[in-house]
Copies of this chain bind each other. A is one copy, B any other.
Amino acid sequence: MKLIIDAMGGDYAPIEIVKGSIEKLNITPNLSLIFTGQEAIIKQELSKYTYPLDRVEIVNATEIIEMNEPPVAAIKNKKNSSLVVALDLLKEGRGDAFITAGSTGATLAGALLRVGRIKGIKRPALAPIMPSKTKGVLLIDCGANMDCKPVNLAQFAIMGSIYMEKVLGIPSPRVGLASVGVEDEKGNELSRASFELIKEENAVNFIGNIEGRDVFDKVDVVVADGFAGNIMLKSIEGMAVFMFDILKTELTSSLRSKIGALLLKPSLRRMKKTLDYTSYGGAPLLGIDGIIIKAHGSTKARTVHFTIQQAMDMVNADLVNVIKSSIVSTEEND
């Protein structure tokens, strides 16, 4: 298996990206890597490590797309960026999957412009895994599509369900539609029309509308338009940070609490780990005709491990082809 890695994307690139990639390479037989980016810089990073030289390749790309560049312009103007070069390699079949921690907008635009959608998929979606009481819950879409149509959400439901079943091994994943109440008629125009479409998808184990408070145990997949999904994701992340802040203040507020905190250190560490979304890897971009994972901008070496594993699991599940055939059969049914 060969993975393409954007060595220049992300807050800690190239240092942490190269470090995590090589560490994972060294414990994974049959894995090869192609780094895209400025060759001299990548070589310098690689020189820090011992690794099987024949399983690492560098494809030089002199330009870097910054986080705040207008995405489409960046893709069109920076043909020699680490992102565009990587996407072209993926398109040409030079690698089985592609990972980047670079700009989300540019990754989305580049994936559409350089790799393209799976035929029949109207809008690809970004689908991170959020912590939950079970194996994590996939949120699709978390921000790739601002104004959606019901058919988009129905396709998100199919793709999300396939991901959780084929990649994470959850049989008949429970799919819920983000809404403002659990009753069938609750929601806005978009969600109510989407409800009717998803209900008709035989391949989806649709449990109906769910509320924000249900995502942690009642479902394996949450379907939402990208606006609502992003608000859900970031509210949850924000609340976690807020609560840890309060906890920290409380745990250092007196001698008594400091001693208590000391005793609870292992517990609190485990709690933080349970809530650490980076251990789930990055957000797959589902619906693109190739396997692409957008890792978090703040990705460090440890998260690169998880993300490479995730990419390998997606390749092994033959995810793109499974989605392709599910969409073909849906269209045939129409």
Contacts and interface: CB of A to CB of B under 8 A. Distances in A.
Interface string A67-107: 00000000000000000000000000000000000000000
Interface in A35-57: none
Most buried by B among A180, A235, A240: A235
B146 A187 contact: yes
Given A188-B146, A235-B235, A264 B257 contact: yes
Most buried by B among A132, A180, A237, A266: A180
Interface in A242-291: 242-243, 245-247, 250-251, 253-254, 256-257, 259-264, 266-268, 270-271, 274-275
A178 interface: yes
Given A133-B242, A180-B143, A257-B263, A213 B191 contact: no
A232 interface: yes
A104 to B, nearest CB: 10
B231 A180 contact: yes
B212 A233 contact: yes
Contacts of A243: 239-240, 243, 271, 275
Contacts of A274: 246
Contact of A237 (B213, B247, B251): B213
Interface string A213-239: 111100000001111101111111111
Contacts of A257: 263-264, 266-267
Contact of A236 (B146, B235, B250, B253): B235
A146 B264 contact: no
A149 to B, nearest CB: 13
Main secondary structure of the interface of A (DSSP, over half): helix
Contacts of A201: none
Contact of A238 (B189, B215, B271): B215
A211 interface: yes
A241 interface: yes
A116 to B, nearest CB: 24
Given A188-B146, A240-B243, A275-B243, A212 B227 contact: no
Given A235-B212, A240-B239, A260 B267 contact: yes
Contacts of A247: 271
A147 interface: yes
A262 B143 CA distance: 42
A270 B262 CA distance: 19
A238 B263 contact: no
A191 B230 CA distance: 13
Given A227-B180, A260-B263, A263-B259, A212 B232 contact: yes
A100 B82 CA distance: 59
Interface in A122-159: 132-133, 143, 146-147
Given A256-B263, A264-B260, A180 B235 contact: no
Given A215-B238, A216-B241, A236-B238, 10 more contacts: A146-B180, A146-B187, A146-B188, A179-B227, A212-B230, A212-B238, A239-B239, A253-B267, A260-B260, A260-B262
